[in-house]
Each structure stands twice: as structure tokens, then as C-alpha cells.
Chains A and B, each alone.
Chain A
Amino acid sequence: MDKPTMKVTRRRFLQASGTAAGAAGAAIGTGQLVGLKPIGEAQAQQASGQTVVNKSICGQCPARCGIDIYTTDGRVHAIYGSNDHPIANGKLCPKGHLGTYILYDPDRFKGPMKRTNPNKGRNEDPKFVPISWDEAFKTVADRLNALRDKGESHRFGLFFGRGWGASDVGVNIAPFGKLYGSPNAPIGHSSICSDGSVLAKQCTDGNASYSSYDYRNANYLLIFGANFLEAFRPYNNNMQVWGHIRRDKTPRTSVTYVDVHMNQTAAAADRALLVKPGTDGALALAIAHVILTEGLWERSFVGDFTDGQNRFKTGQTIEPDSFTEKWTNGLAQWWNTELKDRTPKWAEAITTIPADLIVKTAREFGTTRPAIALFERGAHNHSNGVLNGMAIHSLNALVGSLFAEGGLAYQMGPAYGPAPADPADYMDDYAKNGPHKKMPRIDLQGHEDGYLMAKNMIQEVGTNHLAGKPYKLDTALFYMTNPCFSTPKAKDWEEALKSMFVIATSPFPDETSMMADLILPDTTYIERWQDAPTYPFQGWPLAQLRTPAVKPLYDVKTFGDTLIGIGKLIKGPTGEYYKKVESVENILRHLAKGFEANPGDNGVKDFEGWKAKGCWYKKPYHWRQVRGEFFEWDGKGWNKPMSPDQVKAKLMPTASGKFEFVSSYMEKKKDWVLKATGRDPAKYNMPHWEPPKYTGSGDLHFITPKTAMHAEGRSANLPHAITLFQPANGGNKQSLAELHPSVAKAKGIKSGDRIKIKSDLGEIFAIAKVTELTRPDTLVLPFEHGHWAGGRWSKGRGSHVDEITPAQSDRISGMANYYTGKVSVEKA
């Protein structure tokens, strides 16, 4: 603590001592000038209290790093990564530290409110007035009870964003819809997230999931459009891995990175391949072609020609019987039908990547074990997304990386105890047999008329509601998702919200809140109880716990408790179920009981221990493939050999129990797939090249990537995050539109110019940044800004990219094709 001194201003210094007497100025000692001016607040304030460090988990991306929250005298003033947490390891990404700002965001909602202006729109003041939580819950419950009484409970929708599935928001969301009776509770956001990769995995190795990765032991990474060092989860841990594999580890891991513009991952990699948008699949197919023709595949996993002679020759088919496969299925058929003609030269014409670089990449990838091929949105946000993903994932099979050390696998769940109540015990006749049972989902997920194989179709809801097909929603509850801003063709959702009763739960003003009838503000992640089993990480189970560092600053409630509060007022057994569930904290205490029989590696065996450490985990991952043999963990090592049936049941749940180059999962839906996609019946079920359907008549691909500062929609109102948003291109006040100099020259555009970007859906304005980092056929404008509602920093800043992003989705995965649009630009 500083002593009560007086700061010398420049003017006062000059007056008092004269400029020549600098040394005399320095000699003005402590306390000498006290009394000339009041003592500053900072100097006068005594920090009396102890600093408390609270274990929690970050809430700004799906990685959810363990954090230490520092609180002194009730004020949260620092967040650091927790050393106890195996993802964070004491470190954080740039977003994590700004969590304090999220807590103290001056624009937060202060309590529940209802709308009094019946008119909704961008320029309509909702005229919110404060209400009590009792009134808020009763308003919602009365509506839902009335709908149920009319047999229209399906017209209630619950839409959620963050959550690894519906179970980790402190309360499992899924039972609400089951007990109340709505197929639309919940509808997740996965189709605007990463369902393309989920379906690609499901179609090939049978696991409808993201993968876990053992990067630390890999010697080669081939990354397609998963921006490892900016936007791929778990970002913080990826960077820890990077420091290890690129410097500390011997041998150093080589990295080839494929994307449409030069970003930090591309710059840090050994080789950047700047590919034409939507053509990643062609590149992967050509790499597979080289791996086969040059005999580089992993024989212990894939198998071999019966006589050991490599007969994979460009353009020539092989005798299917001449190749005996081991853990893969359909290689000969894939080669003969598709792969034999997919030469590097062929791929060069499609991808613009020079053939010699494709060959080099394939040779490196094919000869360096263990190697991982990974991909995300960049590769699968196109009409051919699942095909691209299948082609890339097939490379993992070819080099034997599945379930191998230094390869990739899947994620085990935590040893949770049973929840306080089992929904199955609370199902009334209506829940079991009510009219909602015959209703399709509003998004037509799982429906022949819509997206039969998709997991969710949140981007279709607005459009379907407006058309009344299959029906109109009555009431919609939103948790951590803002689809009227963030889905393609966002304006349909916006329009749809005008004719629904909208319940918003964001702690912060946003577009959904602007259209809301009720605001039931959530707590921030600093103020709440909540659990989160990890996203796929390294395979072994990990369950993290959020604990409140401070009491909520305002009259707000954790969403889980809001849902329970509403549930308690639903008539019949639903209400009884939620009375039994009681609260989020009660749920967490029940879940933690599972740790008694399975203490974590960090000694956590009960709720109190979980709270103190912030996480429970138990290494290792239980299965491993070693040179074509599968083994299970026996408590000491991967010693128990697995039979093919065990591998099928536990690891590769496909029809064949193997990695399928020819997908049985796709084959099961053959008629629908052929009808919906018009694909060649000879190839529809295998990774093959299909040109992406670009939408719009412009001449530039419109790519709207995620940046490192994207904090689940929060960073647009964080002034510090805004200044760091797009550093490689100087976007420190808003996201800038990256344009190649050749485009800029042709259109007479200079850096800093205001430009108009036009798609078939309309036009938006942006500020141009002329840069060589972006391909000449591509315009890159990172999403985040352009909010028409929000806080004082976010509202009206920058460009809203999804206003002109077309509503096209991959017919198989339902993945929104964010990067499919073509636009034109001109100086505004």
C-alpha cells in the first residue's frame, strides 16, 4: 500500500522548481506536498481483506478450462488457469482473463422483466418493466400448462447453445421436453456448429462424436480448416501442445495446414496450403491416392495384397479379392470406383494446390507415424461437407491412427452418480401418448421432408415457423443461443420471433432479448453452480465443476434453476419431478456420489473434493490399438487383447465393426440419400469428389471465420477484446474485410475504405483491409460484430455477416453451409 503522497503534475513541477531543477523535483520527498490537493481515492483505499481463490471453469468456449478466480473484499480482480486442471494446466487463452469483465459488464440485465410494448422489431422499444421471479415463472408455467391442456405442447421449443449435449448446463435439459411433451425441447445448436464432422465420423467409424486426440505423441499433423492456434477447441491446450510438439519434443512434430487464407496456424505450420474454398475433399482424395500408389498405407491396420505386391496403379482397378483388409472395409471398392483417378494433377485443377506439394504432403503424412488428419468447419461447411470430412478421416484409417498412441480416439464419460430423480418415473399418459408424439420437430430434423440424418436443424426453425410447416411455435425459450443473429439467413429467425412468445435468458442484451416477451437473466459463469463433462479431449473421463466465486451481482438466476423453477409449476408429474430435482446444486451433489466408487486421480471422491479441486478425472483412456491389434486397459496396462466383436461393440460400432470406406450407415438410408442429394448410386456411400454448390452470383467466396477472441458471442461487448480481435490484419475497432490487392485494385478499393458486400440475400457494409494473406478469389470477414442490439460497445459496431449468408445446409449432416456464399464488392 502506497503512503499518502501527492503526485506532482507537470505544471506544478515547473511552477515549483523550474525546468532546470529536475534533480530537485526528484528530491521532493514523500509527504512533502500533502495538502496541496486532496489525497486520491486509490491511495486512500485500504485493501483489508484476504484474497480468496475459487476453483471454477471458464465459460467462453467449449474447452472450458479450469480457472482460479481471485476475489478480494468481494471484488473479482483476476482469473488465471488452474494448475489442478488437466486442460488448463495453469494456463489460459487470451479470452480467459477477460472473464472478470464479463462479470462486471455494465450492460448486464439486473433482474427479470416483461415486455409491455406488443410490437416487436429492431426499432421498437420493448418497454421492459421489472417483475418478480415468481411472476416470471408463473407466466411461463401458465402458458405451458394451457398449451398442454389444449394438446399443443409440441408448440413449445427450448433452444440451447453451449453444452456438450443437453446434460451439462447444471441440469439435464432433455427430460423437460420428455415429461412436458414436446419434440422441440430441446433443439441444440450443433447444426450451426460442427455437425459436419460428427456425421463424417458416424458414417465411417460409427461414432457420432467429435474425436479425442493424442497430439503430444503424434509426429505429423495434417490439419484441414481447424484453426488450431486460433479457434479450435481446446484452444488453450492446443497451444500448450504446440509449444511441446514444436520445440520441446524430439523429434519435432511436422505440421501441414490447409485453409483458405493465411492465418496464425498457417503461418506457424511447416507448410501452408491455401486451398480453394470447399475443395478440401479433393485434396484429401489425392493424398489417399498417393498413399496407395506409393505403398505407404499401414498394413497392420488396413491389410495388404495377398501376395504383398502393390497393385494400386493410377487409373487401374484392382481385383477385390486380391486385397485382404484387416480393420477397414471397402478399400478395393473405393479405389476402383473413386480413388484410382484422383491424382495430384487432377486435384491441382480443383484445389489450386500445386501437384508437387500434394505429393510431398502425402509422402510426409504417409511415412511419418503416428500421424493425425484432423478437420473442422473450414472443410465441412459446404454442400459436400460430409464427403470432405469422410475423405479426410479416411486418411487416419490409411495410416492406422485410429485408437493408436499419437492418433485419435473418442471420449469416455465421467463416473457420475444417478440424478436425484429418474424422468421415467414421472411420465403421465400425456407424456407417453399425447398428440406431441405424432408431431415432427419444428426443424424437420429426422424427417424425410427435412434432414433425415441430421442431429439438429436450428437454422431451419425460423423459416419453418413462418411457413407454418410443419406448424407454428407458440412459445420459445432460449439458452445461450441467439439464432436470429447467428444462423444463416438470420432475418427469417428474426421475423419468426415476432409471432412467438419469446423467453430470453442471456445475462446480456442481445437480439433475442430485444425480441423477447420475458427476460429471465442468467448468471454469468463466475456466479454459478454448474458441471461440465469435458468435450472430447484426450479420451479419459473428466468432469469439471463451476462454483460461484461471488454471489450474483444482481437479481438473476442460473438457467438450470430457472428451468427447475418453471418445471415445478407444470401440472402433474412434471412438477413433482422438478420438486424432487430441487436445484442445480442438489443435482451436482447427486452426480458427485458416483466419485465415491471411482475416486479421481486427483483424489476427488465427493462433492466437497470436487468443489475444492474444480475437477474430477481418471486416466487413462481404456483402449489402444497397437500395430493392428486392439487392447483394453486391465488396471496396469493395455494388456487385454480385444476380439473383433469387442472392438465393434466398444470402439467401431459400424455394421462391419471396422472403419468403413463404404459406409453402411449411409447405405441404411440409401433411398433418401439418393433422392435428397442426387448422388451417383455407385459412390454416394463412400468419400468421393463432389463439387461444392456455391450460392449467389458474386465473384468472391465469402468466408466468415471464427477468431481467437470469439467468446461465445460475448467478446463483441468487451472493449479489450475488440481491440485484439483481428490482430494480423489490424482489425482493432471492428472486424475488417480482407481483400486481395488484385481485387482491391480492380474495384478501386484501398485499406480503410468503406465497402459494400452483396450476396443474393442483400448487402452489408464493411471496412476493407487490402492484404496478401487472403486468396484472390476470396473475401474473408470474421464473424462477431454487427449487432443491431446489445451492449454499449457491441451495438452498431462492424458488419453482421449472417445477414447475407445464404441458408444452404449439407443434406446429410444438416450442417449450415456458412462458407458457401459468393459475393461481390464495391466501394461504398
Chain B
Amino acid sequence: MTKWGMVIDLDKCTGCQACSTACQMENNRLPGENYQDVLYYTDRSQPTPKLVWFPRPCMHCEEPSCMHVCPTKATFKTEEGVVLVDWNKCIGCKYCMIACPYGVRFYTDEKPVIEPNVKDVFPGTGDLSWNPPYKGPQQDNAHGVGIQPHGVVSKCTFCYHKISKAPKGTSDLSNEDPALREYVPACVRTCAPTARYFGDLDNPNSEVSRLISDRDGARLLEHTGNKPQVYYLGRSAVVPGFKKS
């Protein structure tokens, strides 16, 4: 069985945030509420200061604490290992947001980061929380894909609407193969330095498996026992201990 996972090479990541904007547009994110954030940290003093960054999608944990605490079982894990929210079942209680050690869940009706509020500029009707003019054709509330309804929590879906259509048994999803590019998660597809890899963690011969093995793929906050399906490679494959910008 395929178990989708992601590998992010911090030695290649340039901190450009194209993953964030590709995701913003693909998944109709509100400004400043990114499923895929890049975090920046600084330390030390002039003339030798230190600046590092850390891209952070949902970890799609093997043991997702968000799922375990969900009172309505709105958060669930697919057979292929993707953690999703069924918006038809979500009651917006935000327990999952507290339980998630990675801070990658978003409630629909928060105060906007930027005024004027895009939700007022492009108002939704009925359940739809807003209606951006560039809205994509996909809307799948049962898998938390598309425009959020009011009152729910949403999160990165690994671009479920794309990967779920990939041919069965595919080991890696990459932009390099024109036949597969439409199935690649937006952040992986656009990553200019190719710092992101996406593939089947259960396939020992997938590129992601090889990278994790060859380059000591590390997972974030191992002590929580969540067992992320996102691995980091490179110089600072841990969240730095110093102050966030």
C-alpha cells in the first residue's frame, strides 16, 4: 500500500516561499494563513549574524494527535496515509489545533491578517466562507479540499485532489515526468531548487526512501511520537532553538 510522504532538503531550500504561494493559489488560502509556511529564525550578532529558515507543511503524521482528539472523527487518515479533515463533520471546536505539535491547522473565521479582508471583498454565499475570483474547479468537502465553509478547521491535504488521481503504484511524484506533473502537490511541483520530494515511503526503492536512508532524514519533534511522514535533510534539520522573526 502506498504511504505518501515528503522529503525537504534544507541544504537546497532557498527560503523563497514559492511553496507558500503555489499552495495559496491552488488551495485558495487566505492571505497570511498558509498551509505551507516558511519560518525564519535569527541568532548571534553582527558582523556574524545567523539567519536560517524552515519550511513547514502539515507533517501527515503516522500517529496524528489531531485525529486522536477530534470529537467528531472529522479528522481522519486515508489508506494512503494522508491526514484530512471532513468539513461535513468538523464542528470547528479547534481541539485539533491545540493537539497538533506543529501548528499547521487553521480555523476559517479568524481575524484577517491583512485589511481590507479579502472575505469582504470577495464574499461567499451560503456555507462558502469566501469566493475568490480565481477559485479552482475542485471542491470536495469530505476531504477538506476547496473553499472552506464557515466554522471549520482546515489544513494541508498534500494536494489530495491531485495525488489521489495518480496512477496506482507510482513510487515518486515529480515535475520531471510530464506524465505525472498534474498529480504532484503544488509546493513540490513548483520548488525551483528541487528541495522537495514526494513519494511512497513504503516503497524501499522510491527516491524519498533513498534520500531518507542516504542522508539521514530527520523528523520534527520525534519525542511527541507523532511520527511525521515529512522528513528533513541537511544542515539544520531541526527547528532552530533561537528566536523567530
Instruction: Convert A118-154 into 0s and 1s, putting 1 for each residue whose CB lies closer than 8 angstroms to a CB of B.
Output: 0000000000000000000000000000000000000
Contact flag A80-B114 (CB < 8 Å), given A22-B71, A772-B49? no
The answer to the question of B51 belonging to the interface, with a C-beta cut-off of 8 Å to chain A, is: yes
With both beta carbons as reference points, the residue of chain B lying nearest to A79 in the complex is identified as B25
A699 to B122, CA, bound (A): 46
Which residues of the partner chain A approach B100 to less than 8 Å between Cβ atoms? none
Contact flag A10-B92 (CB < 8 Å), given A720-B21, A728-B53? yes
Q: CB distance A732 to B133 under 8 Å?
A: no
Segment among A23-31, A418-426, A574-582 that sits at the interface with chain B: A23-31
Q: CB distance A91 to B21 under 8 Å?
A: no
Distance (Å) between the CB of A729 and the closest chain B CB? 6
Q: CB distance B17 to A94 under 8 Å?
A: yes
Contact flag A106-B88 (CB < 8 Å), given A97-B22, A101-B134, A243-B194? no
Contacts of A235-263 to chain B: CB distance below 8 A: 235-237, 239-240, 242-244, 246-248, 262-263
Q: Which one of A90, A708, A728 lies within 8 Å of B175 (CB-CB)? A: A90
Contacts of A674-720 to chain B: CB distance below 8 A: 708-709, 719-720
Which residues of the partner chain B approach A484 to less than 8 Å between Cβ atoms? none
Q: CB distance B14 to A94 under 8 Å?
A: no
Q: CB distance A728 to B142 under 8 Å?
A: no
Distance (Å) between the CB of A522 and the closest chain B CB? 19
Which residues of the partner chain B approach A244 to less than 8 Å between Cβ atoms? 193
Contact flag A47-B137 (CB < 8 Å), given A10-B151, A42-B149, A243-B12? yes
A23 to B133, CA, bound (A): 37
Which residues of the partner chain B approach A1 to less than 8 Å between Cβ atoms? 139-140
The answer to the question of B38 belonging to the interface, with a C-beta cut-off of 8 Å to chain A, is: yes
Q: CB distance B146 to A733 under 8 Å?
A: no
The answer to the question of B163 belonging to the interface, with a C-beta cut-off of 8 Å to chain A, is: no
Contact flag A92-B22 (CB < 8 Å), given A42-B128, A100-B134? yes
Q: How many A residues touch B, CB cutoff 8 Å?
A: 98
Segment among B39-47, B164-172, B198-206, B221-229 that sits at the interface with chain A: B39-47
Contacts of A767-783 to chain B: CB distance below 8 A: 771-776
Which residues of the partner chain A approach B136 to less than 8 Å between Cβ atoms? 72, 77-78
Q: How many B residues touch A, CB cutoff 8 Å?
A: 83
Q: CB distance A733 to B91 under 8 Å?
A: no
Q: Which one of B21, B40, B49, B91 lies within 8 Å of A94 (CB-CB)? A: B21
The answer to the question of A355 belonging to the interface, with a C-beta cut-off of 8 Å to chain B, is: no
Q: CB distance B25 to A98 under 8 Å?
A: yes
A9 to B47, CA, bound (A): 54
The answer to the question of A352 belonging to the interface, with a C-beta cut-off of 8 Å to chain B, is: yes
Distance (Å) between the CB of B211 and the closest chain A CB? 11
Instruction: Convert B16-45 into 0s and 1s, putting 1 for each residue whose CB lies closer than 8 angstroms to a CB of A.
Output: 111011101110010110000010101111
With both beta carbons as reference points, the residue of chain A lying nearest to B32 in the complex is identified as A723
Segment among A33-41, A313-321, A330-338 that sits at the interface with chain B: A33-41
A72 to B175, CA, bound (A): 22
Q: CB distance B193 to A728 under 8 Å?
A: no
Contacts of A1-18 to chain B: CB distance below 8 A: 1-3, 5-10, 12-14
Which residues of the partner chain B approach A42 to less than 8 Å between Cβ atoms? 124, 126-128, 139, 141, 146-147, 149
Q: CB distance A776 to B46 under 8 Å?
A: yes
Which residues of the partner chain A approach B90 to less than 8 Å between Cβ atoms? 7-8
A8 to B89, CA, bound (A): 6
Q: CB distance B18 to A727 under 8 Å?
A: no
The answer to the question of B213 belonging to the interface, with a C-beta cut-off of 8 Å to chain A, is: no
Contacts of B58-112 to chain A: CB distance below 8 A: 70-74, 87-93
Contact flag A2-B128 (CB < 8 Å), given A95-B21, A264-B15? no
Q: CB distance B24 to A720 under 8 Å?
A: yes
A352 to B48, CA, bound (A): 13
Which residues of the partner chain A approach B124 to less than 8 Å between Cβ atoms? 41-42
Which residues of the partner chain A approach B44 to less than 8 Å between Cβ atoms? 772
Which residues of the partner chain A approach B149 to less than 8 Å between Cβ atoms? 7, 40, 42
A104 to B134, CA, bound (A): 7
Which residues of the partner chain B approach A771 to less than 8 Å between Cβ atoms? 42, 245
Which residues of the partner chain A approach B49 to less than 8 Å between Cβ atoms? 262, 772-773
Distance (Å) between the CB of A61 and the closest chain B CB? 13
With both beta carbons as reference points, the residue of chain A lying nearest to B73 in the complex is identified as A26
With both beta carbons as reference points, the residue of chain B lying nearest to A83 in the complex is identified as B178
The answer to the question of B2 belonging to the interface, with a C-beta cut-off of 8 Å to chain A, is: no
The answer to the question of A51 belonging to the interface, with a C-beta cut-off of 8 Å to chain B, is: yes
Q: CB distance B116 to A40 under 8 Å?
A: no
Contact flag A26-B74 (CB < 8 Å), given A42-B147, A247-B11? yes
The answer to the question of B238 belonging to the interface, with a C-beta cut-off of 8 Å to chain A, is: no
Which residues of the partner chain B approach A80 to less than 8 Å between Cβ atoms? 22, 186, 189-190
The answer to the question of A439 belonging to the interface, with a C-beta cut-off of 8 Å to chain B, is: no
With both beta carbons as reference points, the residue of chain A lying nearest to B143 in the complex is identified as A2
Contacts of A787-818 to chain B: CB distance below 8 A: 792-793
Q: CB distance B137 to A51 under 8 Å?
A: yes
Which residues of the partner chain A approach B50 to less than 8 Å between Cβ atoms? 262, 267
Which residues of the partner chain A approach B132 to less than 8 Å between Cβ atoms? 104
Contacts of B205-245 to chain A: CB distance below 8 A: 245
The answer to the question of A193 belonging to the interface, with a C-beta cut-off of 8 Å to chain B, is: no
The answer to the question of A546 belonging to the interface, with a C-beta cut-off of 8 Å to chain B, is: no
Most-contacted residue by chain B among A91, A106, A235 (CB, 10 A)? A91
With both beta carbons as reference points, the residue of chain B lying nearest to A93 in the complex is identified as B18
A12 to B89, CA, bound (A): 11
Instruction: Convert A36-68 into 0s and 1s, putting 1 for each residue whose CB lies closer than 8 angstroms to a CB of B.
Output: 011111111101000100000000000000000
Which residues of the partner chain B approach A708 to less than 8 Å between Cβ atoms? 16-17
Instruction: Convert B152-179 into 0s and 1s, putting 1 for each residue whose CB lies closer than 8 angstroms to a CB of A.
Output: 1000000000000000000000011010
A55 to B218, CA, bound (A): 39
A635 to B8, CA, bound (A): 41
The answer to the question of A274 belonging to the interface, with a C-beta cut-off of 8 Å to chain B, is: yes
With both beta carbons as reference points, the residue of chain A lying nearest to B147 in the complex is identified as A42
Which residues of the partner chain B approach A9 to less than 8 Å between Cβ atoms? 91-92, 151
Which residues of the partner chain B approach A793 to less than 8 Å between Cβ atoms? 114, 116
Which residues of the partner chain A approach B26 to less than 8 Å between Cβ atoms? 78, 97
Distance (Å) between the CB of A350 and the closest chain B CB? 15
Contact flag A25-B139 (CB < 8 Å), given A236-B192, A240-B192, A264-B14? no
Distance (Å) between the CB of A28 and the closest chain B CB? 7
Q: CB distance A77 to B15 under 8 Å?
A: no
Which residues of the partner chain B approach A43 to less than 8 Å between Cβ atoms? 127, 139, 141
Known: A91-B191, A94-B21. 14 other contacts (CB 8 A): A1-B139, A80-B22, A94-B16, A101-B25, A266-B51, A267-B52, A709-B17, A727-B17, A728-B53, A732-B113, A733-B113, A740-B46, A772-B49, A773-B42
A to B CB contacts below 8 Å, 24 in the list: A1-B140, A22-B71, A26-B89, A30-B88, A37-B127, A40-B125, A41-B126, A45-B139, A47-B138, A72-B137, A76-B134, A80-B190, A97-B22, A97-B190, A106-B122, A239-B193, A246-B12, A267-B50, A720-B29, A721-B21, A727-B17, A732-B113, A772-B43, A772-B44
Closest 8 CB pairs of A and B: A243-B193, A40-B127, A26-B73, A239-B192, A22-B71, A10-B91, A723-B32, A104-B133
